[in-house]
Chains A and B, each alone.
Chain A
Amino acid sequence: MNNYGYLGIDVGSISTNGVIISPEGEVLHEIYLRGKGNPIESVQLCLAQLTAELPDSFRIKGVCTTGSGRILAGAVVGADVIKNEISAHARAALHLYPDVLTIFEIGGQDSKVTILRDGAVVDFSMNLVCAAGTGSFLDSQARRLNITIQELSSRAMTSANPTNIAGRCTVFAESDMIHKQQIGHDQKDIMMGLCHALVRNYLSNVCNGKEIKPPIVLQGGVSANNGICRAFKEALQCDIIIPPYNMVMGAYGAAIIAGKSCLEKTKFRGKEVSTHHIITKGFECGDCPNNCEIIEIIDDDKLIGRTGGRCGKWEGKTGTRESLKRTGPAGPVSGHSTDRQMEDKTCKQVDNVPDLIQIGIPKN
């Protein structure tokens, strides 16, 4: 066994996942944690549990974070690469199944479809302004029926005669479910009907106009639900592949990206980060009427990064507040490594420009 590897962390809306891979791309350790509303703690916990089983000589040579909390997580652990989750998921699926043509990914609050041809992503689509048909909905319905999500999955599989449930909107689906339950439909049929409704909604909304071709890989948190897999198989009349690390594919992809990005020296802050006391502090920038709320991430009194600005002058920088104030828009908005100090020597004379120009403020 090699004594080094790469770490990928996926901070999603519902869960925080971590994967450590060997340089060859094999998964050494994986972890799936349901988030408890505090991404920083979740990331620390995730890191602690992942590294607990590793020998002391094991070194992490690269870190990549992904998911909606990628920037915050990247600042906390010291990420080398920060990547969007669509690319991360596609990378992981391609690694396991090089000939995959379609990836379905249903997570806690968003669902995506990725179309691949000849081993490259050619198209993708993400749910737009509606979260109907995502994991959160299944979760809340399971809670309403007072069963766990695992139970929902296993019971739905036993249904022979699924109920038809309106799946256009989660609220209507819920009232339809209550209606069906009141007129005496069996609970397991309602559950399977719910899975069918979710899949129908997904196929008609997210996959609308996309060319769905097998082999299809289904991943993300919801893929652990057998009812959903069955509904997909019945709706598309073809086999659906559930990859072995289906729950943590985002983190796996991130780790692969970290492994492939030829890093010379990692910015990883070490596994001790999990024991640090990390807090965030917010303040209003006030340089222009946008009044962005800037979040400072502070690790044991030491500032390690900032997020939340629009113009990019705060993002990921660790200089003092006074030195950054009124420096004008500069630097990347997102998607780049944190902790990169910008050298603004070339354009010094044009500083002090706000992001937004106001015209004619009455003096009163």
Chain B
Amino acid sequence: MTYMAIPNIGNYTIALATAVESLGIKAWASTATTPEALKLGIDAAPESVCLPLKAHLGHFIEADRAGVEYAFMVNSVGTCRLRYYRHMIGQILKDMGLKIKIFGLGFDGFKPPIVRYFDPGPITFLKPLFHTVLKIKVIDELEVASWRTRAIEITPGDTTRVMNKLLLELSKSKTMAGTRAIRKKVAGCFAGIPADKEKKPLKVGLVGEISFLRDKCLNKNIEYILGSQGIELRNFFLLGEELKNISRIVLLNQNRRKSLSRIADLYLQCSVGGHALDSVAHSIHCADEGYDGMVHLCPAGCMPEVSVRPILKRVSKDKDIPILEMSYDEHTEGVGVATRLEAFADVLMERRKNTSLTR
């Protein structure tokens, strides 16, 4: 069997693994970067590049060691370094003398090179793609349900376990019918978790760089830490939403970015690359929606996110919404992250108590 290593983007890796089947090969990935892979990446990459590149690079090195022949890396058309990731990673892997062959998602004619290379038949090609879209939808639903339930669960860990069980089933599901059956189960499974329905949990929005929003190895399991302190989350990266956005651009020429820039207009008039505009727009949006706070995840040296940091400070002041800034690099310790998040939760709790007293 031929394997292809694909980037880890959190739980969505499960869906992307299905997409790889459309090429008639199998995917090699996991739902979080392993600490071992991260170590390999840190050793191989230049010191000053951002942590997501190191994580992806390490993942591909690990793949090569496991005997995987091909790798796939997205090229973003955005203006951040992600655009050069494929070239950088490809070059580093070549310099290291590894045999793994890396593909990008580029077009140079009717068929992308990656499709031409494996040349699958039309049915092999299309069916898994529909399946992928379905899986992405299911994972979106799972994520949204888990953010809500984890904050109000009575026994800590229940939500995570239910979620992981469903994800495991999803990763094993080979047919559309099987995936649809899982989709039907989602609501019931989460409703079955004993929870305190009366509780009004604190609401916090997560914004920032996408690898950090998704990969729990990189962000030190931030969703879990916040959730287990009784905080309801909204993570502003859902792959389903991103896909809808792409189809909207293609079909209706309606860019979500336009609506985001309308929200952020007072603070940021141009796109600074990456998901920085999203961070600003979502923070403003959340403040208006009555969220209790925001957490901004930013890898040290991430140009787009670092540039919007002062803007977020201003938003925080104008809109009176606390924004916690988290800066990550390879030396970031889980304890430090947990300390900040705990203190942040304390602050939000006290704020809520005070506002309810004055009202």
Contacts and interface: CB of A to CB of B under 8 A. Distances in A.
A328 B164 contact: yes
Nearest to B28: A360
Interface in B113-167: 155-158, 160-162, 164-165, 167
Interface in B218-232: 221, 224-225, 228-229
Contacts of B194: 346
Interface stretch (A39-47, A121-129, A195-203): A121-129
A124 B165 contact: no
Nearest to B194: A346
Contact of A289 (B36, B317, B343): B36
Nearest to B32: A356
Contacts of A333: 221, 224-225, 228, 338
A86 B162 contact: no
Contacts of A290: 32, 34-35, 217
B162 A347 contact: yes
Nearest to A83: B342
Contact of A357 (B36, B155, B156, B164): B164
A335 B36 CA distance: 27
B121 to A, nearest CB: 21
Chain B interface mostly: helix
B109 interface: no
Given A118-B354, A290-B35, A357-B168, A129 B346 contact: no
B235 interface: no
Contacts of A208: 313
A215 interface: no
A329 B157 contact: yes
Nearest to B338: A334
B14 interface: yes
Interface stretch (B97-105, B248-256, B279-287, B327-335): B327-335
A358 B217 CA distance: 14
B28 A84 contact: no
B40 to A, nearest CB: 13
Contacts of B188: none
B57 interface: no
Interface in B61-107: 66-68
Given A290-B35, A331-B156, A362-B67, A357 B332 contact: no
A330 B335 CA distance: 18
A103 to B, nearest CB: 12
Contacts of A311: 160
B34 A362 contact: no
Most chain A beta-carbon neighbours within 10 Å: one of B27, B32, B217: B32
B347 interface: yes
A344 interface: yes
Interface string A332-364: 111100000011101100110111111111101
A128 to B, nearest CB: 4
B347 A342 contact: no
A68 B333 CA distance: 10
B342 A330 contact: no
B238 interface: no
A333 B332 CA distance: 16
A243 interface: no
A96 interface: no
Contacts of A291: 34-36
Contacts of A126: 336, 339-340
Contacts of B164: 328-329, 350, 353-355, 357
B1 interface: yes
A327 to B, nearest CB: 9
A124 B161 contact: no
A331 B156 CA distance: 5
5 contacts: A312-B156, A330-B156, A335-B229, A358-B30, A362-B1
Interface of B: 1, 3, 13-14, 17, 26-32, 34-36, 66-68, 155-158, 160-162, 164-165, 167-168, 171, 193-194, 217, 221, 224-225, 228-229, 300, 310, 313, 317, 322, 325, 327-329, 331-332, 334-336, 338-340, 342-344, 346-347, 350-351, 353-354
Given A85-B339, A122-B322, 10 more contacts: A290-B32, A290-B34, A329-B164, A346-B158, A353-B164, A357-B31, A360-B26, A360-B27, A362-B67, A364-B66
